[in-house]
Amino acid sequence: MASSFLCKARKLSSSPFSSQFLKYFRFAPSATITTTANNAENYFTEQNNNTIRRDTQVSSYKFGSRRRTASIGKTPHSLVHKANTVDSYSAVELALNSVVKIFTVSCSPNYLLPWQNKSQRESMGSGFVIPGKKILTNAHVIADHSFVLVRKHGSPTKYRAEVKAVGHECDLAILVVESEEFWDGMNSLELGDIPFIQEAVAVVGYPQGGDNISVTKGVVSRVEPTQYVHGASQLMAIQIDAAINPGNSGGPAIMGNKVAGVAFQNLSGAENIGYIIPVPVIKHFISGVEDNGKYVGFCSLGLSCQTTENIQLQNHFNMQPDMTGVLVSKINPLSGANKILKKDDIILSFDGVPIANDGTVPFRNRERITFDHLVSMKQPNEKAIVRVLRDGKEHELSVILQPLQPLVPVHQFDKLPSYYIFAGLVFVPLTQPYLHEYGEDWYNASPRRLCERALRELPKKENQQLVILSQVLMDDINAGYERLAELQVLKVNGTEVENLHHLCQLVENCSTDSLRFDLDDDRVIALNYEMAKVATSRILKRHRIPSSKSIDLNDAQSNLQVGLACSS
């Protein structure tokens, strides 16, 4: 298997999926990314023979995993807390006036027919009050929402809630309720610290099987970066042995009289293995929203790194016996590290914290955690000091960190898909939700070339998209081109396509009689421009499609026209 936590797609295609899966409790689309970057191979991640994949047909997400033994050594007696330190009665008392049940009506888009939505669905989750008259819950509880209601314990009334901020990468969201009646008697919960191994927590929420509040006790068994299945990210998570069932999502895990985390997913096929989002991730999300008025994301160095545990590899790069670090193998061209770091650099430390040859850094008492955690806890535009070994010499470099987006988006929640139709040719940007429409086994069922590019390619410039011809709505004007669907559009009349908006401009500003599209695999589409414009209206009417372009393209064109009018 590939090092640096990147999976080689060719090996995945011949490897059977595991029989155990990680899931969370709602059926919105999702994905995963590599641990060291929002980058190339950003959906399938294979780590220690673990495989993550998505199920588009059922209301769960699946995570194949082989159980691993925690290797933290002996913990000093002073840090060991007995499981019975959490009083379930006190947890209930805290929760009665803080935890709410959330009712969500959602409607996901249809990426194969991007002008349509799928059928409306209803789901339920949990949430709890935090200071400032806000409710914290999971992003997957309200993803693609069209209507959200909340109900407090002991009340028959449901109150309308609005989504103030949502961070799909960290699977967190903030709701606000305008009704003053709702807040009467409600108390906020205070955030605590990361629990130690063997500390006890109580998970409070509204799991399936009943309508009243439920409290489940459990013990912390592991703290480490984990795949956040909903948000396509690798962030710190706490593993506990408390049952986390559908409906628990968004509920607090209480330790003593404070919140230790937010319940969000569990390991299906295993008994009582659940995961909660720890307080540092929660605080990072909340502080970003408070400082910027919206979700700002989690930073990334934009690197793919390889471990340096092999002694011959260390000697090749002139690493001294007392040196440890990881090898830079790939850099995202849009990252702040692109002009600072180089391929084959050895990263020795991050902000003064030495990095081991396996990519981990010290964490608390005889525990270790991947250095990506240090990166992800940085705020956007914050500087980091990176010490590297380059050509046998040590250098101390400063890197400005930013959240990074992959070339092919891994999720598209809470927004409508983009599309453009001309002469029955349906053009869309390539996204992983589009590939998910090929079904549960989308990795093998979707077009191989598109799948490989979705997993591997890096962006070369800002706002770049891979535009594809998704389908051909048949008409006399496009007869014979139907077999060219699912190919990438490379050029329009000789001009390279940067994104879907650019393609739309090239088509609508065509000044020649003939319009030519150059596609992948050296295929060509040629149309008479005036005849194609007439055919477009005919085809839209026949298929009952309200517009030839998505709302975002119409808005972009309107803004461009306004800008041109102002400049003139």
Which residues are designated catalytic? 140, 171, 249
Place of tokens 């940007």: 429
d(CA 500, CA 466): 8
Closest CA to 92 of 234, 244, 216: 216
* First-residue to last-residue Cα distance in the chain: 59
Burial 50-80 (b: 16+ CB within 10 A, else e): bbbbbbbeeebbbbbbeeeeeebeebeeeee
Angle at 11 (CA atoms; ends 9, 17), nearest 5 degrees: 95
Closest CA to 51 of 40, 38, 36, 66: 66
Burial of 100 (0-12, 13-18, 19+ CB in 10 A): buried
Query: Cα separations (Å) of 419 from 210, 434, 496, 552?
Result: 43, 12, 18, 9
Print the SS3 string covering 359-401. Answer: CEEEECCCEEEECHHHHHCCCCCCEEEEEEEECCEEEEEEEEC
- What letter represents residue 526's amino acid? A
d(CA 77, CA 282): 29
Burial of 443 (0-12, 13-18, 19+ CB in 10 A): buried
How many CB atoms within 10 Å of residue 480?
8
d(CA 404, CA 496): 24
Q: Which pair of structure tokens corresponds to residue 144?
A: 């693609």
Task: Give the largest Cα separation in the chain, rounded.
Answer: 82
Closest CA to 230 of 194, 266, 206, 202: 266
Within 8 A by CB and 6+ apart from 473, the residues are 421, 424, 425, 426, 539, 542, 543
Strands 258-268 and 21-23 come out as antiparallel
Map residue 294 onto helix, strand or coil: coil
Print the SS3 string covering 75-99. Answer: CCHHHCCCHHHCCHHHHHHHHHCCE
d(CA 396, CA 262): 38
